[in-house]
Structure 1
Amino acid sequence: MAWRLFLSKTLNLTPPLPNPKILRICEFSTSFLVTKIPKKLRKKHKKPVSARTRPVQPHASTHSRLESILTRDSTFRFLTRTKQFLSKQPQRVLRLDDAGKLHRELGFPRGRKVLKSIQRHPLIFETYRHVDNKMWFGFTDFAEELLQEESSIMDAMEIDRVKKVRKLLMMSKDKRIPLSTIYHNRLLFGIPEDFRDRVAKYPEYFRIVVENDGKRILELVNWDPTLAVSELERQFVVSEDTVVKAFKFPVKYGKDLGLDENDTRKLNLLNTLPLVSPYSDGWKLDMWSLEAEKYRVGIVHEFLNLTVEKRASIHNIVEFKEEFSLTRRTYEMLKKQPRTFYLAGTEMNWAVFLKDAYNENGALIDKDPQVIFDEKLYNFAQMQQREVFSGIDEK
């Protein structure tokens, strides 16, 4: 027993107490340690390519100036949509709380504050507190003067716009187009907001018919042969070679013919002409025949010539699909004519330009008064108040 007592005293069999210094160290957080790969070092995953993001033109064929026009449209979407929406409101003002719910109508990103978009254009829009203690916004005095100038342009160009609508009706299958279709695309042709009221001034040209479902249709009253001449036909009289080279309708033939390049070109030229007039009854042709394709190409060409900027988006063209007998293959049809049409944007959201209407710098050769006004409006929309005052002082 003695040796057991001796061992228990000499050997400390109880577990040692923890060192308090070590405990203090363990109390510190280890969150400073790098447990994740830094964002800049992470492997970047490419977004899947789709028709929504895939550009129409390959990089080598891109016309940067024409593509930039679509970028400009996106930049000023809030300006153009809000200008149109606000102009139709009583007193041309809108409560800020209500405006925040109208992201689609006013053209600002969903989930964003409308006030930020308003503040980007201090020369055009202004906010104020009403007697109801609510914030409202409307046009500045400077913008009101611009709107008056635009109204004067609309009045001066009324006869030209009437002519455009008459030509649209003459191109249509049944010589009638819903009023709503023309109204939705009015900016494309420089047509004023109140054109539905102005139509009544021209009973010798137009007739409004109300269908059973309440839809109002604009019908052509009289056919004018002097208007039934397309821009292509006018160009053909001036320069036949220019029109011949503008389009290409390749002939399908077997390789066993052994045609050289020159013979192939001559054979294709036989198919290029004559083009089918967009003012003819081309809609009666076999839908998938070569003649029908020529007719549809002519329709789109004349349609673009009637626009103020010689361009249109897929959304504009689709709205006239029934009236102009266009098919679902319009995109593919236009891509086959790169000498005349330039397709910009993405495969799902594209726009088509008349190449001959633009110079090498991507500017319109002949500018409609409405286009000149819009460009001036865009310039003012980018300015701050002090920039205008400094410009006046310099003068």
Structure 2
Amino acid sequence: MGLLHHLLSRTVSTPSKSHHLLFTQFSHQFSTSFLITKTPKKFKKKRKKKESPRTKLVQTEPNLISHFESILTRDAHFRFLTKTKEYLSKQPQQILRLDDAGKLHQPLGFPRGRKVLKSILRHPLILQTYRHSDNKIWVGFTDFMDQLLLTESEIANRLERQRVDVVRKLLMMSANKRIPLSKIYHNRLLFGIPEDFRDRVVKYPDYFRVVVEEDGKRILELVDWDSSLAVSALEREFLVDEDKVKRAFKFPVKHGKLLELDFEDERKLNLLNTLPLVSPYSDGSKLDMWTLEAEKYRLGVVHEFLSLTLEKRAYIHNIVEFKEEFSLTKHTYQMLLKQARTFYLAGTEMNWCVFLKDGYGGDGELVDKDPQVVFNERLYEYADMQELESR
């Protein structure tokens, strides 16, 4: 017993390096410190999840402009109507089997997993279902909608020359004065261009030439430059209200504090850096991409692009499709966001819509309504009716 006590007391009082290492390994292997230092999951503070650009809104209070935001709400409300109208119009006899329609949630614009019949029944004046001789249920337009489509066709015929000029201006803005026909077709509703425009262009050989490339892609080329069309909306406005156009875009001069300028002198200096305007009908592809002049050009292009649209607005996918033709960059969103005097961006960071503010009055109504816009608004009214109101 005395020997054992002697050995133990010696070990404790003069621990060797080997003893210390064994003790450390032993204590780590059987450590109970986690009982004290670990915080139970239920008491852990949750990290705030970063909002996705898919859902993060571009604008928040107090910068929201309600009448612009309400237009996007209207777009969402009538997405099924507008997409189904386009899809059905291109089908043989303008009909579609209900079973097939149920598989086309994206082309028809109804939510995935929902019954398409529910969306059809929301618009009884526009769409109807009926049982065909094959005992299958089919979807088609009502007789009332057929009459509306005839009216829309008349509008397209009446405004054909006006739409032709819009396409000519788009070609004149493009880098090589040529745009794939498919791009114009994909964005035709934006400009009021009719469904059969690809067939109509052959009627205007003095303006357009269709070139088929080796891969089969059809390219629309400009035949003749028209100086009278190469005047932007901003340049026309400049002749009427010079000060207003000078204030359209803001390009602050980066100058040192040593200048000690007062407000008025700084405003005049900034004004010098705002002008002159760079015409969107000049060749922007030759500009140094990151210069102030190139940014003025790109802003002018987007401004003119929006001025040519029916509703003086466009979504990101509309603008991105012409990125190469108009020498735009991936920073278009940030560029437009800085110019709040002229543009209003709504929606989410991933799916934003840009409005040309001057195209709208204080009440949120378009200053100039194209006949196609008037027709669309009437269609929306009918689409929300369960039956025709007696006059």
Aligned residue number for residue 132 of structure 1 = 134
> Aligned partners of 2:125 and 2:197: how far apart in 1?
28
Letter paired with 2:121:
Q
Q: Check conservation: 1:276, 1:282, Cα contact below 8 A.
A: no
1:102 and 2:85 correspond = no
Aligned residue number for residue 383 of structure 2 = 381
> Aligned partners of 2:369 and 2:385: how far apart in 1?
23
Letter paired with 1:49:
E
**1:248 maps to which of 247, 250, 261:** 250
1:63 and 2:65 correspond = yes
SS in 2 for 1:323: coil
> Aligned partners of 1:332 and 1:256: how far apart in 2?
30
**1:309 maps to which of 308, 311, 328:** 311
SS in 1 for 2:311: coil
Aligned residue number for residue 177 of structure 1 = 179
Letter paired with 2:313:
R
Aligned residue number for residue 112 of structure 1 = 114
> Aligned partners of 1:159 and 1:70: how far apart in 2?
30
| CA displacement 1:152-174 (0-9 Å, x = unmatched) | 00000100000000000000000
SS in 1 for 2:303: helix
Task: Please give the residue correspondences for 1:301-380 in structure 2 after superposition, counting only pairs within 5 Å.
Answer: 301-380=303-382
State the 1:359 CA deviation: 1.0
Normalization by structure 1: what TM-score?
A: 0.86
Task: Please give the residue correspondences for 1:1-395 in structure 2 after superposition, counting only pairs within 5 Å.
Answer: 48-385=50-387, 388=388, 391-392=389-390, 395=391
State the 1:54 CA deviation: 1.6
State the 1:343 CA deviation: 0.6
Q: Check conservation: 1:126, 1:138, Cα contact below 8 A.
A: yes
| CA displacement 1:75-122 (0-9 Å, x = unmatched) | 100000000000000110000001111111100011111100000000
Query: Cα distance 1:111–1:46, how it changes in 2: closer, same or farther (>3 A)?
Result: farther
Q: Check conservation: 1:247, 1:340, Cα contact below 8 A.
A: yes
RMSD in angstroms over aligned alpha carbons? 1.4
Aligned residue number for residue 40 of structure 1 = none
State the 1:256 CA deviation: 2.4
State the 1:139 CA deviation: 0.1
State the 1:262 CA deviation: 1.4
| Percent of residue pairs bearing the same amino acid type | 72
Q: Check conservation: 1:123, 1:381, Cα contact below 8 A.
A: yes
> Aligned partners of 2:70 and 2:285: how far apart in 1?
35
Q: Check conservation: 1:189, 1:306, Cα contact below 8 A.
A: yes
| CA displacement 1:313-360 (0-9 Å, x = unmatched) | 001000000000000111111111111101111111111001011111
List gaps (5 residues or longer) in structure 1. 1-43
> Aligned partners of 2:333 and 2:173: how far apart in 1?
20
> Aligned partners of 1:371 and 1:65: how far apart in 2?
17
Q: Check conservation: 2:336, 2:343, Cα contact below 8 A.
A: yes
> Aligned partners of 1:45 and 1:141: how far apart in 2?
57
Q: Check conservation: 2:125, 2:383, Cα contact below 8 A.
A: yes
List gaps (5 residues or longer) in structure 2. 1-45
State the 1:48 CA deviation: 4.3
Letter paired with 1:78:
F
> Aligned partners of 1:301 and 1:342: how far apart in 2?
12
State the 1:47 CA deviation: 6.4
| CA displacement 1:190-214 (0-9 Å, x = unmatched) | 0000000000000000000011111
> Aligned partners of 1:335 and 1:148: how far apart in 2?
41
> Aligned partners of 1:183 and 1:89: how far apart in 2?
17
Q: Check conservation: 2:284, 2:326, Cα contact below 8 A.
A: no
Normalization by structure 2: what TM-score?
A: 0.87
> Aligned partners of 2:328 and 2:59: how far apart in 1?
23
Aligned residue number for residue 9 of structure 1 = none
Letter paired with 2:190:
L
Deviates more, 1:253-262 or 1:230-239: 253-262
Deviates more, 1:200-209 or 1:262-271: 262-271
SS in 2 for 1:312: strand
| CA displacement 1:356-384 (0-9 Å, x = unmatched) | 11111211011000000000000000000
Letter paired with 1:310:
K
SS in 2 for 1:81: helix
The total of aligned residue pairs comes to 347
